[in-house]
Amino acid sequence: MTKPAKKNTKTPKSWKFKILLFLLVMIVAGAAALAGYVYILDKEVQTKFSGEKWQLPVWIYSRPLELHRNQKISLKQLENELVTLNYRKVYDPQNPGEYAVEGNNVVIIKRPFRFYDGDEKERALFLQFANDRIQTLKDAKTGATLAAARMDPIILDRITMGNEEDRIKITLQDVNEKLIPILTTIEDRDFYDHFGIKPTSIARAMIANIRAGRNVQGGSTLTQQLVKNFYLTSERSLSRKIKEALMSLIVEYRYSKNEILEAYLNEIYLGQNGSNGVYGFGLASYFYFGLPVRELDVGQISTLVAIIRGPSYYDPWRHKERTRERRDLILKKLLDEDIITPAEYDKYASQDIEVLARGKAIYGKTPAYVDLVKREIREKMGDEILKVSGLKVFTSFDPNAQRAAENAVEKIGAEFKKRYPEIQIAFAIANWHKGEVIGLVGGRDYATKGMFNRAIDAHRPIGSTIKPIVYLTGFAEKNYQLSTVIDDSSLTVHYGKQEWRPRNFDHKYHGKVFLRDALAKSLNIPAVRVGVDVKIKNVIKNLQAVGVDQELQAYPSLLLGTVEMSPLEMTQMFSVFASQGYYKPLTSIRAIVDKNDELIYRENEDAKRIFNAQDTYLLTQGLINVVKSGTARSLNSILPNVNIAGKTGTTDDGKDSWFAGYDNDDVFAVWVGTDDNKPTGYTGSSGALKVFNSYVQERGASSISIAVPKGIANQRFNRFGNPIENDCKLEGSIVVPAKVSALGSVEPCYYYSE
């Protein structure tokens, strides 16, 4: 009999158990994968957030206006500077960036600023003006007399080096106290309470947007907005939203609310400036209003917060009314939340949207000067330095000098253009005491076209502006004097197998003339006689000593200005004359600091003497005489009681018109001509000097006041160039400064007649 099979007592696993097991495995695997993904995201968040968040542009600043008692500056010039700095004229100044004028008195609440050599604190200043000078400078609150005060500098430009994101990095301490409450109330009222995301807000926003048919309400927290802008792309997908949520949770876990807020303020996109995006409140504040973010009022802050929702949709230039509608909605919300008072609401809601004209931000308007700064940075520190994030470059740029130069070029250029449409003008200005370039105009249209910087790159024959260096060589090499009598008659110069016959501009000869008068009237033949006598090679040596960096051939025509120079090089040469013989390379840069305000460069090059004080003093007196009674005498009619030294220059057929000179502070050079080197017919007097005359009427000038060097004394000379011991009137006699030790014998007083 067959035994029955033994029954299997084990219970087979149920299908439910298998499913649960599978789900458990999937959950564990998913959790592991999620943990790994979160770990990767955490590393990504920390790497960028804790490191160098942004490649910041290089910012270029002007010189700060330094105020002191008896300073030569008019009330109008001070106001021009304040307007350029976007200080606001009010009845009763209380806040930084405000000022008031009553008669000749001014009260300014100057902004704080961190310079390369220390911090300037906020301060209330009282100034009183008289005769275009500061008569009184006091602390407006304490009444204490101040030795000096330093204003904040102007932002000239920024260098982004191809980076499309442009921003000014700010901290929470830099902003108006109302900005954070306004921002969080409108964009994320629960910011200080949530952990990075708000699911209910997301759902509420989705419903509102579906009903409206467009984006009318945002559901993202500030943290999500930061993550989206800082880490992610603009892709709209479920996976990106999940990634955004996870990264927001990580950011909230890793960093404080203040750190998140500060990053948000610097990262948020707020518009477009040409090819560059405007990122962060720091830059947007300047871009739209020309003000530091600390000085924005409630209406302006509300306008920026309105733009957050859609920088293109709420563009205040293209959609002004739409932007105002959103701003007013924000103001109403602030009123409802008791963040502003009813009076504040009425005040700001009644105001129009007032932003700077598009493209009129206070920076980017001095391309010729910034071009010089860039070149100098590269020359001194190499190309790579401009790629360093957050550099601040402090320059010697003077907005008052620049404004006067630009106005003169525009005014006289328009007049010249009627005769010669292609006429161009270049202008360079420097402070000869410090060896600093303070203004530069690269051409009539350089500010808009920004192509050829004629102030630096237009090397043109200098004509008679070479004569000062010729006569200075004569003073130094062979003891010529202003009283030296030179023969202005027919002259033939032999060189090699050739000969050259120079002529005067008027094609006349003037017989025996004093060197002083030959310089004043810009006679050619006397200059050639002196140049040949002292040897052309010595003139070349001195040209190179004053900064002419080119190989020069010792042709006699060099003595009448065939040498080619740029306006900036001409300014360099005349700065040596102004400083009584000291050479110091002109610079536009005072200092450079890194993003942490640590000094990495400071200009400290010493000047070196290349001419003695006696010789340059004689030259200065001769150049003053050019303005008093010579080819530049039209300037004397404008400023009859001011001693300015200058020299006109004209090349063949009037192709190039020059004027160069200096007063007690500044040295300057103006060139007028065409890029294709065609004759214009303008002389130095009718062309370049006319531009300078317009400039000086706005800028003003300080009369030259140079101490008389040892060994120099005023002396009377007769018409033969011999010193006279007494004061009797002699026909053709002159009184000029002279080197006393070289006068020789003293003649008795005779009366010479023809």
Question: pLDDT by residue (tens digit) across 90-121?
Answer: 999 999 999 999 999 999 999 999 999 989 99
Contact (CB, 8 A) for 722 and 663: no
Segment 306-340, tens digit of pLDDT: 999 999 999 999 999 999 999 999 999 999 999 99
Q: Which band of pLDDT confidence, cut at 50, 70 and 90, is reported for residue 39?
A: confident
Percent of the chain with pLDDT over 90: 70
List C-alpha distances in Å: 134 to 76, 243, 520: 12, 62, 35
- Check residue 750 and give its pLDDT: 41
Region 200-204 average pLDDT: 66
Per-residue pLDDT at 491 exceeds 60:
yes
Extract long-range pairs of 180-184: CB within 8 Å, 24+ residues apart. Answer: 180/261, 181/339, 182/298, 182/301, 182/302, 182/305, 182/330, 182/334, 182/339, 183/222, 183/301, 183/305, 184/222
- Check residue 743 and give its pLDDT: 57
Amino acid identity, position 94: Q
- Check residue 219 and give its pLDDT: 62
Q: Which band of pLDDT confidence, cut at 50, 70 and 90, is reported for residue 378?
A: very high
- Give the chain's mean pLDDT: 89
Q: Which band of pLDDT confidence, cut at 50, 70 and 90, is reported for residue 753?
A: very low
Segment 355-377, tens digit of pLDDT: 988 766 656 678 899 999 999 99
Per-residue pLDDT at 746 exceeds 60:
no
Q: Give the Cβ contact number of residue 612 at 10 Å.
A: 15
Q: Which of 212-216, 501-505, 525-529, 687-691 has the lowest mean pLDDT?
A: 212-216
- E-strand spans in 339-431? 392-395, 423-431
CA distance 579 to 622: 15
Q: Give the Cβ contact number of residue 121 at 10 Å.
A: 8
Region 172-198 average pLDDT: 92
Segment 613-661, tens digit of pLDDT: 999 999 999 999 999 999 999 999 999 999 999 999 999 888 999 999 9
- Check residue 214 and give its pLDDT: 52
Catalytic residue numbers read 187, 464
Region 181-188 average pLDDT: 94
Phi, psi of 734, rounded to the nearest 5 degrees: -140, 155
List C-alpha distances in Å: 527 to 518, 521, 544: 8, 11, 19
Region 414-419 average pLDDT: 93
For the record, the structure tokens of 120 come out as 């300037």
Per-residue pLDDT at 22 exceeds 90:
no
Region 201-222 average pLDDT: 63
Region 683-706 average pLDDT: 96
Q: Which band of pLDDT confidence, cut at 50, 70 and 90, is reported for residue 40?
A: confident
Give the global pTM. Answer: 0.89
Per-residue pLDDT at 57 exceeds 90:
no
- Check residue 752 and give its pLDDT: 35
Nearest to 482 by CA among 631, 620, 662, 663: 620
Region 171-193 average pLDDT: 93
Phi, psi of 592, rounded to the nearest 5 degrees: -135, 135
Cα 334 from chain centre: 39
Q: Which band of pLDDT confidence, cut at 50, 70 and 90, is reported for residue 10?
A: low
Segment 537-565, tens digit of pLDDT: 999 999 999 999 999 999 999 999 999 99
Per-residue pLDDT at 12 exceeds 60:
no
Q: How many CA atoms lie within 13 A of 347 on its CB side?
A: 9
For the record, the structure tokens of 497 come out as 């197998």
Which residues make Cβ contacts (< 8 Å) with residue 102, sequence separation at least 6?
A: none
